[in-house]
Structure 1
Amino acid sequence: MLCLFDLDGTLIDSEIGILGCVRHALTQLGVEHPAELRHWIGPPLRHSFAPLLDHDHDRIELAVEHYHERFHAIGWQEHSVYPGIEAMIGRLQAAGHTLAVVTSKPERHARPIIEHLPFGPAFSRLYGPHPSSAHSEKATMIAAALEDFGAEPQQAVMIGDRHFDIDGAVANRVRGIGVLWGFGSRAELEKAGAHALARDPGHLAELLAA
């Protein structure tokens, strides 16, 4: 089976790094930080910056640039692997599944993270949107993965913590499995049409073996 994994909120807890970069960008622009920022994890940056910056294209692009500056310098290191993920990846490899990452992070930001993960080599490919994109593009990236691996929709599964992951799966008639340890909620994942919900990495491995 082709197992496509989201990165943030699924394989790694990247809240500290992402929110640190968001705050840095807003500070650089003299914009007050919202009290609640956790919902910024998952959607494309431009989508999240737009309301705070009055949908001003130039200021949004500047904010994204400031975000990327800090992320490139230090933010990419500010994460931790969720407990049980490494063992789960090992089980999937041993079972002969093909693994790849489909993330909303630009590839140039996601690649160093994956390369430094102890199980990074388990992933055959990495799919990320172009840095200038304002869209999640999960559906497009999943479609590209199916084509690259020559897999039929029924031979693949998309695993993630937000509705963007499930939306992309549904658009490609691929099973979408929501994980409950990330940044999304059970209600969000169920509403998006998740095929199943995994309560922890061990449970996810069981679902994929079924």
Structure 2
Amino acid sequence: MSEALRLVIFDVDGTLVDSQGDILAAMASAFSSVGAACPSREAVLGIVGLSLDVAMPKLAPDQSAAIHDQLVDAYKDAYMTLRAQTGAAESSPLYPGALDVLHTLNAQDNVLLGVATGKSRRGLDKLLEGHDLTSVFVTEQVADFHPSKPHPSMVMAALAETGVAPEHAVMVGDTSFDMAMAKAAGVRGIGVSWGYHDIGALGDADCVIDAFGDLPRTLDLMWEL
């Protein structure tokens, strides 16, 4: 009897890649463009993972909806400009061990890999191209087509596209939004300690790992249960 098909869904920013430099710079540029003070580093990193249309009202609650829309557009423009200047691989480097683990998991016949990210389709495409990962993920869920995390839409779409049962799927992420999304979708969540949210915020995670190299063994143990 063949093994059940498994699905590992990855968040991107703060989980696969460290893009905080460009995120912080793009946010500073966006707020400067509307003549407003940029929120603190902690506040900006705290909303990473949310879709921009949800993040901006949280960062600028006293601003109007029109200003929020301007901030979204200015952020996107600034982010793409910064990425074009240095290239995706340099501006958003993979975390140590990420590439090896992706290749290890991708080589397993019964394991499929996916992405669920607050990035736009354009942003994700540029990132995957920059890291030569365009053929690794069989399902790619982006902010353009879904409600913001922690709504379970992205995970549910990934399950539907791959035909994997929820009990055989895992969400890997660094934020409370990722873990809450996993819980809402009925899949297990693995938190990572190297990202943008404190470990204390990952209360919905089934477990938390401290290094990418721990992921394959953690998945094996989880799927044995």
TM-score (norm: length of structure 2): 0.85
Residue 149 of structure 1 is matched in structure 2 by 162
1:2, 1:157 within 8 Å by CA — same for their partners in 2?
yes
The whole-number CA distance in structure 2 between the counterparts of 1:183 and 1:143 is 24
Q: Measured at CA, do residues 67 and 134 of structure 1 come closer, stay the same or move farther in structure 2, by a change above 3 Å?
A: farther
2:114 is aligned with 1:100: yes
2:53 is aligned with 1:40: no
- Could you give the per-residue CA deviations for residues 108-144 of structure 1, whole angstroms, max 9, x where no partner exists? 211110122134421112110228x773365101001
Residue 31 of structure 1 is matched in structure 2 by 36
The 5-angstrom pairing of residues 54-203 of structure 1 reads 54-75=62-83, 77=88, 78-96=91-109, 97-130=111-144, 135-136=148-149, 138-189=151-202, 191=203, 193-203=204-214
The whole-number CA distance in structure 1 between the counterparts of 2:143 and 2:165 is 22
The whole-number CA distance in structure 2 between the counterparts of 1:138 and 1:111 is 23
Residue 10 of structure 1 is matched in structure 2 by 15
Q: Which amino acid is the alignment partner of residue 24 of structure 1? A: S
Task: Give unmatched runs, 5+ long, in structure 1.
Answer: none
Q: Which amino acid is the alignment partner of residue 53 of structure 2? A: R
1:45, 1:134 within 8 Å by CA — same for their partners in 2?
no
Q: Per-residue deviation at 1:52?
A: 2.1
Instruction: Tell me the SS of whatever aligns to 1:177.
Output: strand
1:102, 1:138 within 8 Å by CA — same for their partners in 2?
no
Q: Which amino acid is the alignment partner of residue 22 of structure 2? A: G
Instruction: Tell me the SS of whatever aligns to 2:143.
Output: coil
Q: Which amino acid is the alignment partner of residue 163 of structure 2? A: G
% identity of equivalent residues:
29
Q: Per-residue deviation at 1:71?
A: 1.9
The whole-number CA distance in structure 2 between the counterparts of 1:16 and 1:187 is 23
The whole-number CA distance in structure 1 between the counterparts of 2:98 and 2:141 is 20
The whole-number CA distance in structure 1 between the counterparts of 2:192 and 2:177 is 13
2:175, 2:201 within 8 Å by CA — same for their partners in 1?
yes
Q: Measured at CA, do residues 125 and 177 of structure 1 come closer, stay the same or move farther in structure 2, by a change above 3 Å?
A: same
Decide which of 19, 23, 30 is 2:24's aligned counterpart.
19
Q: Measured at CA, do residues 22 and 134 of structure 1 come closer, stay the same or move farther in structure 2, by a change above 3 Å?
A: farther
Q: Measured at CA, do residues 53 and 172 of structure 1 come closer, stay the same or move farther in structure 2, by a change above 3 Å?
A: closer
1:103, 1:138 within 8 Å by CA — same for their partners in 2?
no
Q: Per-residue deviation at 1:41?
A: 2.2
Q: Per-residue deviation at 1:43?
A: 2.5
The whole-number CA distance in structure 2 between the counterparts of 1:207 and 1:179 is 12
Aligned residues: 207
TM-score (norm: length of structure 1): 0.91
Q: Per-residue deviation at 1:185?
A: 1.7
Ranges of 4+ aligned residues in structure 1 off by more than 4 Å: none
The whole-number CA distance in structure 1 between the counterparts of 2:130 and 2:197 is 25
